[in-house]
C-alpha cells in the first residue's frame, strides 16, 4: 500500500509528491487553523509553511499506527504558533533606524525658538508682573511662596498674575 493510503486511506495521485499530497489534502485545514490562532494571514502562511517543511522532513516516520496525519500536522501548526507567541513575548519590540535622532534635534530647535519667544513676550511685562509669573509659573512656586519672596500679600500675587497673563495673551495673540 502507498504511503498516502496508509496515512489517510486515500490514494495518492500519479505524479504526486508527498508535499503535493499534504498540501492538497490538508493545506486548507492547516491554514484555517493557523489563521484562527494568529489572526494574521501572512503569519499563518509562514506557520503552515514551517509545518509542511517539518512534515516533509519526517515523511518516512509518519505511519498509521501513530494517529492521523491531519492531527499531527495541526499539532505541529499549534506548536509553531505557540513558539511564535513565546518569541514575541521574550524579545523587545523591533524598531527601525536610530530611535529619536530626528525628534531630539527637532525638540531642541523648538525649545530654543520657544525660549526666545517667551523672553520677548515677558520683556513686555512690568517688572512686578514678570516677577510674579517667574515665581509662580516658571519656577512652579505657590501663591504663598511668591507672596513671601516678594513681600506682598497673596491677593496681590493673584491679581498681578491675572493681569500678567491677560497681557501675555494680548501680546502673543492667544485668546
Which tops the pLDDT comparison, 33 or 9?
Answer: 33
Residue 58 pLDDT > 50: yes
Here the CATH number for the domain that contains residue 9 is: 1.10.1740.10
pLDDT of residue 1: 39
pLDDT of residue 132: 92
Q: Are residues 7 and 85 in the same domain?
A: yes
Q: Are residues 52 and 121 in the same domain?
A: no
Task: Assess contact for 76 and 51: CB atoms under 8 A.
Answer: yes
Query: How far apart (Å, rounded) are the C-alpha atoms in residues 127 and 62?
Result: 89
The conformation of residue 15, written as its DSSP 8-state character, comes to: T
Tens-place pLDDT, residues 120-155: 878 888 999 999 988 998 888 899 999 999 999 999
Residue 13 pLDDT > 60: no
Here the CATH number for the domain that contains residue 151 is: 1.10.10.10
pLDDT of residue 12: 52
Q: Are residues 49 and 123 in the same domain?
A: no
Task: Assess contact for 125 and 169: CB atoms under 8 A.
Answer: no
Using the 3D structure, point to which of 90, 125, 160 is the last residue of a domain: 90
Tens-place pLDDT, residues 82-110: 988 888 777 666 666 555 555 555 666 77
pLDDT of residue 115: 76
Calculate the average pLDDT of the chain: 79
Of residues 142, 132, 140, 123, the one with CA closest to residue 163? 132
> Domain range holding 37?
3-90
Mean pLDDT (whole number) for 36-65: 85
Q: Which of 62-66, 129-133, 160-164 has the lowest mean pLDDT?
A: 62-66
Residue 96: inside a domain = no
User: Length of the chain in residues, anyone?
Assistant: 175
Count structural domains, the chain: 2
Using the 3D structure, point to which of 62, 90, 118 is the last residue of a domain: 90
Q: Are residues 73 and 142 in the same domain?
A: no
Using the 3D structure, point to which of 63, 90, 117 is the last residue of a domain: 90
Q: Are residues 68 and 118 in the same domain?
A: no
Query: How far apart (Å, rounded) are the C-alpha atoms in residues 54 and 75?
Result: 12
Amino acid at each position: 500500500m502507498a504511503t498516502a493510503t496508509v496515512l489517510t486511506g486515500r490514494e495518492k495521485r500519479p505524479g504526486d509528491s508527498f508535499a503535493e499530497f499534504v498540501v492538497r489534502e490538508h493545506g486548507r485545514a492547516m491554514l484555517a487553523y493557523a489563521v484562527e490562532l494568529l489572526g494574521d494571514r501572512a503569519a499563518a502562511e509562514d506557520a503552515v509553511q514551517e509545518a509542511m517543511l517539518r512534515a516533509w522532513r519526517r515523511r518516512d516516520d509518519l505511519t498509521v499506527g501513530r494517529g492521523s496525519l491531519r492531527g499531527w500536522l495541526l499539532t505541529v501548526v499549534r506548536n509553531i504558533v505557540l513558539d511564535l507567541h513565546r518569541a514575541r513575548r521574550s524579545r523587545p519590540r523591533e524598531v527601525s533606524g536610530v530611535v529619536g535622532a530626528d525628534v531630539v534635534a527637532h525638540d531642541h530647535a523648538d525649545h530654543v525658538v520657544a525660549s526666545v519667544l517667551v523672553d520677548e513676550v515677558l520683556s513686555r511685562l512690568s517688572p512686578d508682573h514678570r516677577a510674579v509669573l517667574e515665581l509662580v509659573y516658571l519656577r512652579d512656586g505657590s501663591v504663598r511662596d511668591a507672596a513671601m519672596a516678594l513681600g506682598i500679600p497673596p491677593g496681590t500675587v493673584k491679581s498681578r498674575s491675572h493681569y500678567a497673563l491677560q497681557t501675555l495673551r494680548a501680546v502673543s495673540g492667544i485668546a
